[in-house]
Amino acid sequence: MARGKFITFEGIDGAGKTTHLEWFRQQLHTRAARAGGTVIMTREPGGTALGETLREILLHQPMALETEALLMFAARREHLAQVIEPALAQGDWVLSDRFTDATFAYQGGGRGLPRDKLETLERWVQGEFQPDLTVLFDLAPDTASARRSAAREPDRFERESERFFARTRAEYLRRAQEAPQRFALIDSSQDIALIRQQLEALLARL
Ligand code: TYD
């Protein structure tokens, strides 16, 4: 049985990843089935019972910046051990709504935690392990904020300023530049139909 593939969706709040996730999961399902596996859809922070408890705390409770980063990585270690690693080992494909790039973007870029601290945690929690593909939905913070405001009650991150999201976006783009073979950059200001075409092209490469 071939090892499964790990795909992550990323982007600042309001950039549109949620719009495309369910559609992409269905497409992915067809490809995974052809390879003899199934698709597991998951998210961060979260993805396990403990991770979902940590998500509640992270999204709603004030805390020191370092605590926030450590809890993100604690939830991630659990997610890897309980869900991601076993699924890939048995040939299933995993699609995750956010992963480590979000910690670099939000806690690093947005909140200003030094990158070397995050790199240390990344290595500790996941070694050399990285997604096979990361789809980054890129959008200007003012457009993203306009798209967000229609939605429900904002959490601790969604309440942040446009300047925070400008820094978050910049760090996402820096991560993408650092690993161009892993990232696919999607311009989220385009029509949904056009974005789907681009996602289809990515699926064909998997
Ligand atoms: P999000 O995917 O936006 O959930 P929803 O669509 O339900 O709002 O994720 C929740 C928030 O968590 C989001 O604002 C980004 C933040 N986050 C971090 O700050 N660091 C991380 O490492 C992760 C995974 C998420």
pLDDT at 126 exceeding the cut of 90: yes
- Which whole-number Å values give the CA distances from 201 to 24, 44, 195, in the listed order? 12, 26, 10
Domains and CATH numbers, the chain: 6-205 (3.40.50.300)
Which residue owns the Cα nearest ligand 1 atom 7? Answer: 18
- Testing ligand 1's pocket by substitution, the residue of 43, 157, 169 carrying the most ligand atoms inside 8 A of its CB is 157
CA of 101 to the centre of ligand 1 (A): 11
pLDDT in tens, 145-169: 988 876 678 999 999 999 999 999 9
Instruction: Check residue 31 and give its pLDDT.
Output: 85
The CA distance from 52 to 74, in Å, is 12
pLDDT at 125 exceeding the cut of 90: yes
- Would you call the peptide bond into 180 cis, given omega within 30 degrees of 0 as the criterion? no
The CA distance from 29 to 14, in Å, is 25
The CA distance from 80 to 105, in Å, is 20
Is the distance from the beta carbon of residue 51 to the nearest atom of ligand 1 less than 6 Å? no
Is the distance from the beta carbon of residue 109 to the nearest atom of ligand 1 less than 6 Å? no
- Testing ligand 1's pocket by substitution, the residue of 106, 113, 148 carrying the most ligand atoms inside 8 A of its CB is 106
pTM of the full structure = 0.96
CA of 128 to the centre of ligand 1 (A): 23
Greater model confidence, 149 or 176: 176
Question: In one letter, which amino acid is 73?
Answer: F
Is the distance from the beta carbon of residue 104 to the nearest atom of ligand 1 less than 6 Å? no
Is the distance from the beta carbon of residue 16 to the nearest atom of ligand 1 less than 6 Å? no
Instruction: Check residue 149 and give its pLDDT.
Output: 72
Pairing mode of beta strands 39-43, 93-97: parallel
pLDDT at 28 exceeding the cut of 80: yes
Pairing mode of beta strands 39-43, 183-187: unpaired
CA of 45 to the centre of ligand 1 (A): 7
Per-residue pLDDT, averaged over 70-86, amounts to 98
pLDDT band for position 116 (cuts 50, 70, 90): very high
